[in-house]
C-alpha cells in the first residue's frame, strides 16, 4: 500500500504521516530526510548536492527522483510507504508515475487533507514553541494554549514565536500551495486515486476519517 499525502502548510501532514506509519507499518519516505542522508555520504552525488545547497539553489527534480528511486529499490517496503514532500508540482507527479511504471509499482491512495484557510492561518500565526524542550502550543486554541501565558507547561521555560510565523509568510506559503498543488489534485482525481479527508477537531478524528477510506489494518 503506497500513499501520498497532499496538504497545505500546518494542516497536520506530519502527524498523519506518523499515525499511518505506525498503524499500517509503512515506511515513511521524506524527501527532506533523503537529502540530509545523501549529504552525509562520501560520493560524487553528495559533493554535487553540497555545492548546489551552498549556493542556495534548488535541488533538481531529477536528483530528488534519483534519491527516491534508490530508496524504493534498496529499502524494505513490503507493507508499502508514505511519500512525504514529493511530488510538489505536476511535472514531478508525471515523472514519478513514469518511474513507478518502469518499476511495476503504483500509488494506491493520494490523500488530500482539506482544512479551512482561516484555521490554518491561526495554527501558524498563533504557534508558540518552547525553546528548551520543543513543545508546541497555540494561543488561539484552548486545547493547545499554555496554562500560563508565555510559559511552557512541561518544563517552565519561556515560549517563543518563529520569525516566519506571521500572516505575510503564511499568505505566501498558502498561495504557493494553491499554485503548485491544485494541479496535482486535478491530476490524481483524473487517475481515480485521490481521496479528500475532511477536517476534524483532533488528529485522531482525522485519522479515523483516513481509516474509513483505506480500511482497517492490512495483513
The three cell numbers of residue 98 are 513514469
Q: d(Cα 4, Cα 9) in Å, to the nearest integer? A: 15
**Closest by alpha carbon to 156, among 139, 138, 132?**
132
Q: Does residue 199 sit in helix, strand or coil? A: coil
What are the residues whose beta carbons fall under 8 Å from the beta carbon of 27, sequence distance 6 or more?
A: 21, 75, 76, 77, 79, 80, 81, 82
Distance CA 86, CA 61 (A): 10
Q: Which residues are catalytic?
A: 13, 88, 127, 162, 173
Amino acid at each position: 500500500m503506497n500513499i501520498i499525502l497532499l496538504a497545505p502548510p500546518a494542516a497536520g501532514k506530519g502527524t498523519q504521516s506518523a499515525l499511518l506509519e505506525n498503524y499500517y507499518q509503512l515506511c515513511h519516505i521524506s524527501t527532506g530526510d533523503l537529502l540530509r542522508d545523501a549529504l552525509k555520504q562520501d560520493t560524487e552525488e553528495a559533493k554535487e548536492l553540497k555545492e548546489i545547497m551552498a549556493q542556495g539553489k534548488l535541488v533538481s527534480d531529477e536528483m530528488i527522483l534519483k534519491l527516491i528511486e534508490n530508496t524504493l529499490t534498496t529499502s524494505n517496503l513490503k507493507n508499502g510507504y508514505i511519500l512525504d514532500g514529493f511530488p510538489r508540482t505536476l511535472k514531478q507527479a508525471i515523472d514519478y508515475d513514469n518511474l513507478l511504471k518502469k518499476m511495476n509499482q503504483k500509488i494506491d491512495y493520494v490523500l488530500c487533507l482539506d482544512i479551512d484557510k482561516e484555521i490554518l492561518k491561526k495554527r501558524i500565526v498563533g504557534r508558540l514553541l518552547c525553546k528548551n524542550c520543543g513543545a508546541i502550543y497555540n494561543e488561539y486554541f484552548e486545547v493547545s494554549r499554555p496554562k500560563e501565558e508565555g510559559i511552557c507547561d512541561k518544563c517552565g521555560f519561556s515560549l517563543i514565536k518563529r520569525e516566519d510565523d506571521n500572516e505575510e509568510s503564511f499568505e505566501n506559503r498558502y498561495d504557493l500551495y494553491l499554485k503548485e498543488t491544485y494541479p496535482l489534485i486535478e491530476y490524481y482525481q483524473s487517475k481515480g486515486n485521490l481521496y479528500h479527508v475532511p477536517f476534524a477537531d483532533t488528529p485522531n478524528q482525522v485519522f479515523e476519517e483516513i481509516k474509513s477510506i483505506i480500511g482497517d489494518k492490512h495483513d
